[in-house]
Amino acid sequence: MTQVVVGQILNGIILGSLYGIIALGVTMTFGITGIVNFALGQFMMIGAYATWYFTDLAMLPFPVAVVLAVVLAAVAGLIADQALFRFTRNNLVNGLLVSIGLISVMESGALLLFTTTPKNMDIVIAGSWSLGAITLPRMKVVAFLLLVAVIGLTWLGLSRAWLGRATRAYAQNPEAAMLMGVPTKLLQTGVVVYSCALAGFGGALYASLFSLEPSLGGLFILKGVEAAILAGVGNLLGALAGGVILGVTESVGSLYLPSAFRDAYGLVFLVAILLFRPAGLFGSQK
Amino acid sequence: MKSFFKGCVAGGLMAAAIPGFAFAQATVKLGQIEAQTGPNAIYGYMSSQGVPIAVDEINKSGGFKVGDTTYKFELIALDTRGDPKEATIQLKKLLEQDKARFVFGPFLSNVFVTIFPYAQQFNGKFLMMGGGTRIHDFVGKPGNDFVIRTWNWDAGPKGFGEKMVDYLIKTAHPKKVAMLFQNDSGGKVLGDIYEPIFKARGIETMTEYFEPGTKDFSPVLAKIGEFHPDYLFPGYSDAALYDIVRQSVEGNYSKKFFLVRGSTGPGLKNKDGLEDYIVYVPKDFEEAEKKEPKVKHFIDAYKAFYKRDFPYDQAPLCSSSCYDHVYMLVAAMQKAGTVEDVGKIRAALLSMTYQGMWKISFDDHAEQVFDFDIVHLKKGGAKEVVHVEP
């Protein structure tokens, strides 16, 4: 049983990194534009379907399909920002309403294009690595490494590069950042587009692991928001940690408790944490 | 002559003034409540695809004659999204506003259980033809004449589930079977049906349920792996089965599968990793297309109507409240000599054996009995199809 538990901890970490990349998008968008983009799950869906399309139908190599899927999600994000989100900056309720409307539109579009028949991408990397009773599918491990790399690079970029410092400065004090010459409109658009691209990247890797349905984004945006709140909104590396904690809680919880209520275990854990740390695990408690 | 002319003019003006007046008597409204979208849409999808084709064919051929009148269908297909509340509102609209006497669906048990109390108030005034598993508990009971179940029941002498388990025992001699179903009305009823069937044959079982929408099944599969089952019996829609089969094979939890809901798709996708995949399929369309003209006609009609590829993996679900059933309804109305007396139409429907894509009849409880296939996939994708006539 110990090996089964260890196996599920590892599985939870891997799955959690997928929650983490959505959480990263949520936390970045909220920090810079003041809205929670609930449609990020649908940008993930775009990335997932695009990867499936480019790989299985257009027969392109998987890495090329991933790049194209990310570009497509980013372009969709740019269109959404210019057509909709730029009118809702720093207005939480309007942003929420727009993003909820966008969910319906994007999901209906996917239904029209792909129907409800699940799409299952051809296996990219077959086989598993085994150590005793612990078996981890190779693709899951590769996806985890890629997700951690992207989240890490995003953190590095935001903490070292000028644009990253400008972004953080804007998040802390928009007026001061503006006075210091930070191109705020461009920055806000850039962050929305980048978070959509991140979601698209998450979707591309999701497609290599799970079957696709038009409604796939709904579950992951909820997990992403949960992970962001658990970590403390605004904390970039915390978003990854929040996702991992959520993933491990669900995986290990399902072993000892009924699997039928798996999603509840993460939520119960989140509520318990918020009772003691209202700003999240890594958020400032001031 | 003068008064005749006046009468004609008055009649013409009246018909022109009231839209649809001239044709109101010649239209039969056919309602449909199925999940066309949403996570469990896989079940309603094929029904919602097949019915419009039949309606289109019938209407384009000039309609159907009952007595001296020629009728056409008006289809009102509504998307429940698998949401019982939505379905209740839609059924209310169909029965009270549209005055539909024939409703196809639902295929989802949770939807049926919710709409049942409302629908029952209209007993004797309309017919509902749905495939939902839980309909079995209500069909054929006093006060429930309105409901007809359009799917084989699993248990009993003609039950397809019993025949599936017999096939499993005959070909694989399993000692332990692990069941993994969705935690909802449909999933729970599967557990209730199959635990006794396996027990009666001396097979040890373990039953686990998963949350609807689950994508990562590793934890529950790891739990099942500790039971060391000979076969994994997962359910019940492809949306979950693709992931369960793949993750079970990749994680070495189980490589042998037994299914009574779902398609061959998940097995074919993982054909190189699995060892055995035995699945109940109402019809193996790929094989049937070569041999059965009615099946070929349907496939061609589908491609022409929707201008897209035929969904071979989903098509078997058209055995419930779908294409054939529209033609059955027409035949029943013609036999009953009425499009309004639902009691007579019901009696005609239940007494007939219809040979469409399937050979369909009904048992004493107004539950459908039809022929089906057992598809047995082996490692590498080798396929054996066994046809069963209950």
A238 or B367, which is more confident?
Answer: B367
CA gap A164, A286 in Å, rounded = 24
Confidence of residue A118 (pLDDT cuts 50, 70, 90): confident
CA gap B73, B201 in Å, rounded = 48
Cross-chain residue pair A254–B252, CB shorter than 8 Å = no
CA gap B343, B353 in Å, rounded = 18
In chain A, residues with a C-beta closer than 8 Å to the C-beta of B210 are 259-260, 262
CA gap B41, B35 in Å, rounded = 5
The residue ranges of every structural domain in chain A are: 2-276
Cross-chain residue pair A116–B38, CB shorter than 8 Å = yes
- Helix, strand or coil, per DSSP, at residue A73: helix
Task: Report pLDDT for B236.
Answer: 78
Residue type, B312: Y
CA gap B33, B98 in Å, rounded = 13
Q: Is A117 on the interface with B (CB under 8 A)?
A: yes
CA gap A130, A7 in Å, rounded = 10
Q: What is chain B's length?
A: 390
pLDDT at B196 over 90: yes
Residue of A38, A27, A18, A12 lying closest to A228 (CA atoms): A27
Nearest-CB residue to B223 (from A135, A213, A255): A255
Q: pLDDT digit string (tens) for B22-71?
A: 444 599 999 999 998 776 787 888 999 999 999 999 999 999 999 999 99
* Interacting residues of B86 by C-beta distance below 8 A, sequence separation 6+: B80
pLDDT at B14 over 60: no
Per-residue DSSP letters for B69-91? EEEEEEEEEEE-TT-HHHHHHHH
Mutation pick from B79, B211, B228, B253 vs chain A, by most beta carbons of A within 10 Å, is B211
CA gap B98, B101 in Å, rounded = 9
Cis, bond preceding B106 (omega within 30 deg of 0): yes
Cβ–Cβ pairs < 8 A, chains A and B: 106
| CATH class in words for B27-151+290-372 | alpha beta
Q: Is A116 on the interface with B (CB under 8 A)?
A: yes
Q: Percentage of chain A surpassing pLDDT 90? A: 50
In chain B, residues with a C-beta closer than 8 Å to the C-beta of A11 are 216, 218-219
Q: Are strands B372-378 and B383-388 parallel, antiparallel or unpaired?
A: antiparallel
Cross-chain residue pair A137–B269, CB shorter than 8 Å = no
Cross-chain residue pair B219–A1, CB shorter than 8 Å = no
pLDDT at B311 over 70: yes
Rounded to the nearest 5 degrees, what angle is found at the Cα of A99, between the Cα atoms of A93 and A104? 130
Q: How far is CA A10 from CA A17, A139, A252, B221, in A?
A: 11, 14, 10, 15
CA gap B261, B189 in Å, rounded = 13
Tell me, yes or no, if the two domains B27-151+290-372 and B160-284+373-388 fold the same way: yes
Q: Is A11 on the interface with B (CB under 8 A)?
A: yes
Cross-chain residue pair A137–B247, CB shorter than 8 Å = yes
A89 or B207, which is more confident?
Answer: B207
- What average pLDDT score do residues B370-388 get? 93
Q: Are the beta carbons of B361 and B369 closer than 8 angstroms? A: yes
Confidence of residue A114 (pLDDT cuts 50, 70, 90): confident
Structure tokens at A226: 């949960």
pLDDT at B18 over 70: no
Q: Are the beta carbons of A216 and A107 closer than 8 angstroms? A: no
In chain B, residues with a C-beta closer than 8 Å to the C-beta of A215 are 37-39, 213
Q: Are the beta carbons of B104 and B325 closer than 8 angstroms? A: yes
Task: Please state the ipTM of this predicted complex.
Answer: 0.85
Mean pLDDT of chain B: 91
Q: Are the beta carbons of B109 and B134 closer than 8 angstroms? A: yes
B124 or B2, which is more confident?
Answer: B124
- For chain B, the 3-state helix, strand and coil shares in percent, each to the nearest 5, are 45, 20, 30
Cross-chain residue pair A210–B243, CB shorter than 8 Å = yes
Q: What angle in degrees, to the nearest 10, is found between the helix axes of A40-52 and A2-33?
A: 120
* Interacting residues of B13 by C-beta distance below 8 A, sequence separation 6+: none
pLDDT at B356 over 70: yes
CA gap B223, A254 in Å, rounded = 9
CA gap A135, B253 in Å, rounded = 9
Mutation pick from A211, A221, A255 vs chain B, by most beta carbons of B within 10 Å, is A211
Nearest-CB residue to A8 (from B39, B210, B222): B222
Cross-chain residue pair B250–A135, CB shorter than 8 Å = yes
Mutation pick from B34, B36, B37, B306 vs chain A, by most beta carbons of A within 10 Å, is B37
The residue ranges of every structural domain in chain B are: 27-151+290-372, 160-284+373-388
B353 or A108, which is more confident?
Answer: B353
Q: Are the beta carbons of B205 and B178 closer than 8 angstroms? A: yes
- What average pLDDT score do residues B198-215 get? 93
Residue type, B127: L
Task: Report pLDDT for B3.
Answer: 52
Q: Is A261 on the interface with B (CB under 8 A)?
A: yes
Nearest residue on chain B to A210, alpha-carbon basis: B243
The CATH fold assigned to B160-284+373-388 is Rossmann fold (3.40.50)
Cross-chain residue pair B238–A117, CB shorter than 8 Å = yes
Greatest mean pLDDT range, A127-131, B67-71, B239-243? B67-71
Q: pLDDT digit string (tens) for B75-130?
A: 999 999 889 999 999 999 999 999 999 999 999 989 999 999 999 999 999 999 99
Choice among A265-269, B8-12, B288-292, B377-381 with the minimum mean pLDDT: B8-12
Q: Is A167 on the interface with B (CB under 8 A)?
A: no
Q: Is A249 on the interface with B (CB under 8 A)?
A: no
Confidence of residue B19 (pLDDT cuts 50, 70, 90): very low
pLDDT at B20 over 50: no
Cross-chain residue pair B226–A4, CB shorter than 8 Å = yes
* DSSP state at residue A119: B
pLDDT at B294 over 50: yes
Mean pLDDT of chain A: 89
CATH 1.10.1660 fits A2-276, yes or no: no
pLDDT at A24 over 50: yes
Nearest residue on chain A to B272, alpha-carbon basis: A126
Q: pLDDT digit string (tens) for B244-281?
A: 999 999 999 999 999 998 888 899 999 999 999 999 99
Cross-chain residue pair B223–A259, CB shorter than 8 Å = yes
Q: Are the beta carbons of B34 and B44 closer than 8 angstroms? A: yes
**Is the backbone of residue B35 left (phi > 0), alpha (psi -120 to 50) or beta?**
beta
Q: Are the beta carbons of B47 and B34 closer than 8 angstroms? A: yes
Q: pLDDT digit string (tens) for A195-205?
A: 999 999 999 99
Nearest residue on chain A to B182, alpha-carbon basis: A260
Task: Report pLDDT for B185.
Answer: 78
Nearest residue on chain B to A218, alpha-carbon basis: B213
* Interacting residues of B153 by C-beta distance below 8 A, sequence separation 6+: B136, B159, B160, B161, B367
Task: Report pLDDT for A133.
Answer: 76
Task: Report pLDDT for A180.
Answer: 84
Nearest residue on chain B to A209, alpha-carbon basis: B243
Confidence of residue B21 (pLDDT cuts 50, 70, 90): very low
Task: Report pLDDT for B1.
Answer: 46
- What average pLDDT score do residues A136-157 get? 92
Task: Report pLDDT for B25.
Answer: 53
Nearest residue on chain B to A122, alpha-carbon basis: B269
The per-residue b/e assignment along A91-117, b for 16 or more CB within 10 angstroms, e otherwise, is: eeeebeebbeebbeebbeebbeebbbb
Cross-chain residue pair A254–B42, CB shorter than 8 Å = no
* Interacting residues of B355 by C-beta distance below 8 A, sequence separation 6+: none
Q: Is A219 on the interface with B (CB under 8 A)?
A: yes
